[in-house]
Amino acid sequence: MDFREEAAAIRGDLIALRRELHQIPEIGLDLPKTQAAVLRALEGLPLEITLGQTSTAVTAVLRGGRPGPAVLLRGDMDALPVTEENDAEYVSRHAGTMHACGHDLHTAGLVGAARLLAAHKNELAGDVVFMFQPGEEGWDGAGHMIAEGVLEAAGRKVDAAYGLHVISDMVPRGVFTTKPGPMMAASSGLFVTVVGKGGHGSRPHTTLDPIPVAAEIVTALQNLITRRFSVFEPIVITVGTFHAGTRHNIIPDDATFEATVRTFSEEALAQVEKESVQLAEAIATAHGLTAEVRFVREYPATINDADEAAFVAETVKDLFGEDRYTEMPDPVMGSEDFSRVLEAVPGSYMFYGATVKEDLSEAASNHSPRAAFDDSVLADGAALLAELAVRRMNRG
């Protein structure tokens, strides 16, 4: 099997599919147009296809000609609430929605892997599960699919799982990178409403002004990180929204903010969950107000199996050459619900450079309205997924 050569032969099809998907981005768990496009792309392949019950997920199983391990390959399909600012001929046709994180490439690449492997169905020593997942961007699509049995879709639990994520900056075009152990952070949400008593802006002493109290909590959360946690324990708390009031001369009844919290260890997560809530409530109480606080655990940390990460690195080097792989020096504080798969089975996630810029400092990052991805990388991405599946099955 020469997957590089075979993938190059379908490169045009994969690029066309990616550009079709890029024009019809959809958000969340309900992606009907995306699902329809995926099903059309898989039509005619010898796959056992199951559709999601609580989402527009697509699970496809390829049965090999001989018994062996089951391997899962995953591609997420959803987009983001971002207005695209690129000028390509295939920009988003859905106002306010964009494939700003490259999931259109993930979907097209997984279709490519399915086509490559299906062409060698009788030679495969095992089964492959293709996980086309909606709702990665905060909707826990992986959790939905796991609850509906994607890990057991082959008739038994998969033995290993792999996924890749394209990056529009940070990683040179065509280069794969991963690392053993923690690769991406756990994410949680902190939701705070400070409740006071509103009134006229000229008479603050007759009110219980929630705005300075909420602002004090925002600042204190940063002190919490630096004074309650070791400098060797990576933690991020970023306040992303802050809302209060309607006019400049009215003190409102309440002020609300939301923050994302990123951690790696369970110990740090438990501590920041307890102490951030205590901190917000105590500061509000000290000023005679109250704070309604929710801490929501979202995705766990993405932790690669050490042996599987080494296997990915070895496979990339064998297939493409030493210069196409670099080990990540450090984890990133982004999060990913493929972590739920890796909690359940050994596997590895990886990043794949798809920047359109030679100078990475000039490239817009994932999630930017100007994020751009070079879809010439699709063929090699599909080839790698297929190669990983075959080599893992052959290991037994």
Please write the tens of the pLDDT for every residue from 212-223.
999 999 999 999
Report which of 363, 359, 64, 349 is spatially closest to residue 180, judged by C-alpha positions. Answer: 349
pLDDT, average across residues 302-331:
96
Per-residue pLDDT band for 190 (boundaries 50, 70, 90) equals very high
* Contact of 374 with 354, CB cutoff 8 Å: yes
What is the pLDDT, as a whole number, of residue 138? 87
Instruction: Provide the residue ranges of all domains of the chain, joining segments of one domain with +.
Output: 3-184+301-394, 186-299
Q: What is the mean pLDDT of the chain?
A: 96
The structure tokens listed for 267 are 């110990």
pLDDT at 388 over 80: yes
137 is in an annotated binding site: yes
Q: Which fold has domain 186-299?
A: Alpha-Beta Plaits (3.30.70)
Helix axes 103-118, 11-23, angle to 10 degrees: 140
For residue 114, give the H/E element and its range.
helix 103-118
103 is in an annotated binding site: yes
pLDDT at 193 over 80: yes
Distance CA 227, CA 33 (A): 49
Per-residue pLDDT band for 396 (boundaries 50, 70, 90) equals confident
* Contact of 342 with 178, CB cutoff 8 Å: no
Q: How far is CA 229 from CA 82, 189, 234, 238, in A?
A: 34, 19, 9, 16
What is the pLDDT, as a whole number, of residue 323? 95
* Contact of 233 with 265, CB cutoff 8 Å: yes
Question: What sign has the CA pseudo-torsion 227, 230, 231, 236?
Answer: negative
pLDDT, average across residues 208-215:
98
Please write the tens of the pLDDT for every residue from 68-112.
999 999 999 999 999 999 988 899 999 999 999 999 999 999 999
pLDDT, average across residues 201-206:
96
165 is in an annotated binding site: yes
Question: What sign has the CA pseudo-torsion 383, 384, 389, 391?
Answer: positive
Q: How far is CA 60 from CA 12, 99, 295, in A?
A: 23, 23, 36
Whole-model pTM: value is 0.91
Q: CA 292, 242, 208: angle at the middle one, nearest 5? A: 55
Phi, psi dihedrals of residue 129, rounded to the nearest 5°: -105, 120
Q: What is the dotted CATH code of the domain comprising 3-184+301-394?
A: 3.40.630.10
pLDDT at 265 over 90: yes
Q: CA 376, 381, 383: angle at the middle one, nearest 5? A: 110
Q: Alpha helices, DSSP H only, in 251-377?
A: 266-286, 306-320, 338-344
